Amino acid sequence: MGAGGISGPRISVPRTPGPGLRTWAHATFGYRSSLGSPWQAGRSYGVVALRKGMTIAVASGKGGTGKTTVATNLALAIAAQHPVQFLDCDVEEPNAHLFLKPRIERTLAVEIPVPSVDRERCTYCGTCADVCAQHAVGVFPGQVLIFAELCHGCGACALFCPEGAITEVGRPVGVVEAGRADQLAFAHGRLNVGEAFAPPVVRAVKKEARDHGIVIIDVAPGTSCPVVEALKGVDFCLLVTEPTPFGLHDLKLMVGVVEKLGIPAALVINRADMGDAGVWTFCRQKRIPVLMEIPQNRRIAESYARGIPLVRTDGEWAGRFAVLFRRIRALVEGPGSRNGLRGSGCERSSGDQR
């Protein structure tokens, strides 16, 4: 990530896009990881045997359902058998480090490119303000105002300034911290307080993803852009919910997201012995597999409160999370995955399975 980007050349409009074109975006917040684009997510259709790794996202829609509990315990339960990397992509409120206690070895600043105007060259023509979709530039006679916190870094102002008066400078919006927690490789992002725009930090965390082994991604709650950014290109999404009307309502929204992205998904039901039967009924209707149920009990809640992973409290949980992983792998790599839960419709797909 780059210092090189900050002083990088101003973008000129090439007649032909050469493969060597390296813009600010690709240096700074480009997303060219091995994860690929969502439309390549379907590659596990045909090339399972060639894949070296598997990326599993853990998401929920509703907050506080146990995403981080499931993600961290899953990672710890299989770390002895597999090379595992944990990426905490809930950059607004990253919590996995509280359980995994990683040793941070590297800290990278995440910057987005924002305009800087050369007042000598500027003619106050207003083109930059016209092309800015985020209304981050205002031009008045003799004055250009840049609202950097609104800027998404698209580069339009610099690209279309007829005077070449705009260069781009990096503005820090967060950090990525990477290191190790025993056998686990670990990275998480932290959005700076007061910053609104999380996706660049999520992208920067995902750039840390290795192209081999198991990558486990902890996703933010909600269903909007930071969630989509974290889910793009993953092989599988494990949804975590609780069996209440709130959990069910938000689960339905989240299923809408994974269907739209074409990511196969299955469910973990946390606090499974409380609430009502709505979540199970929904899963039956949609044919979403329920891979694990975690009971509501005080001991689990207390160990969570103290930041102690479940798998460290007793061996039974280590075994259960190892089973959960085998079930996920069977769904992703097994024969069922070709017509399995993939795509727009857990419902259609599992129908094929039968």
Residue 103 β-bridge partners: 180
Taking each helix axis from N to C terminus, what angle separates 245-261 and 278-286, rounded to the nearest 10 degrees?
20
Minimum distance, C-beta of residue 95 to another protein, in the bound complex (Å)? 4
- Tokens representing 222? 């909600």
Q: Which is nearer to another protein, 84 or 227 (CB)?
A: 227
| Tokens 């920067």 found at | 204
Q: Which of 2, 10, 23, 339 forms a contact with another protein (CB under 8 A)?
A: 23
Minimum distance, C-beta of residue 38 to another protein, in the bound complex (Å)? 6
Q: Which is nearer to another protein, 221 or 340 (CB)?
A: 221
Q: Which is nearer to another protein, 91 or 214 (CB)?
A: 91
Which stretch in 13-21, 179-187, 284-292, 343-351 sits in contact with another protein by CB under 8 A? 13-21
Q: Which is nearer to another protein, 28 or 349 (CB)?
A: 28
> β-pairing, 143-146 with 137-140?
antiparallel
Burial of 82 (0-12, 13-18, 19+ CB in 10 A): middle
Minimum distance, C-beta of residue 326 to another protein, in the bound complex (Å)? 28
Q: Which of 3, 7, 39, 119 forms a contact with another protein (CB under 8 A)?
A: 39
Region 188-207 residues binding another protein, contact defined as CB under 8 A: 191, 193-198
Q: Which of 83, 92, 280, 338 forms a contact with another protein (CB under 8 A)?
A: 92
Residues 6+ apart with CB under 8 A from 86: 71, 72, 75, 96, 100, 181, 184, 185, 186, 187, 216, 218
Minimum distance, C-beta of residue 67 to another protein, in the bound complex (Å)? 9
Cβ neighbour number for residue 10 with a 10 Å cutoff: 14
Of 194, 186, 195, the residue nearest 89 (C-alpha): 186
Q: Which is nearer to another protein, 22 or 287 (CB)?
A: 22
Determine if 37 is a binding residue for another protein (CB under 8 A).
Answer: yes
Say how far apart CA 196 and CA 217 lie, in whole Å: 21
Give the count of residues interacting with another protein (CB under 8 A): 79
| Tokens 């609430």 found at | 275
Which stretch in 85-93, 138-146, 327-335, 344-352 sits in contact with another protein by CB under 8 A? 85-93
CA 255 to chain centre: 16
Alpha helices in the chain (DSSP H): 3-6, 24-28, 67-78, 96-100, 127-131, 156-160, 199-206, 225-231, 245-261, 278-286, 298-305, 310-313, 315-333, 336-339, 346-353
Determine if 134 is a binding residue for another protein (CB under 8 A).
Answer: yes
Determine if 11 is a binding residue for another protein (CB under 8 A).
Answer: yes
Say how far apart CA 169 and CA 121 lie, in whole Å: 17
Region 312-351 residues binding another protein, contact defined as CB under 8 A: none
Q: Which of 5, 102, 115, 153 forms a contact with another protein (CB under 8 A)?
A: 153
Q: Which of 154, 290, 322, 330 forms a contact with another protein (CB under 8 A)?
A: 154
Region 155-184 residues binding another protein, contact defined as CB under 8 A: 155-156, 159-160
Determine if 244 is a binding residue for another protein (CB under 8 A).
Answer: yes
Determine if 65 is a binding residue for another protein (CB under 8 A).
Answer: yes
Determine if 221 is a binding residue for another protein (CB under 8 A).
Answer: yes
Region 249-278 residues binding another protein, contact defined as CB under 8 A: 249-250, 253-254, 256-257, 259-261, 271, 274-276
Amino acid at 93: E
Evaluate whether 74 touches 325 at the Cβ level (below 8 Å).
yes
What DSSP character marks residue 65? S
Minimum distance, C-beta of residue 87 to another protein, in the bound complex (Å)? 17
Determine if 46 is a binding residue for another protein (CB under 8 A).
Answer: no
Minimum distance, C-beta of residue 94 to another protein, in the bound complex (Å)? 8
Query: What SS3 state is found at 119?
Result: coil
Minimum distance, C-beta of residue 323 to another protein, in the bound complex (Å)? 25
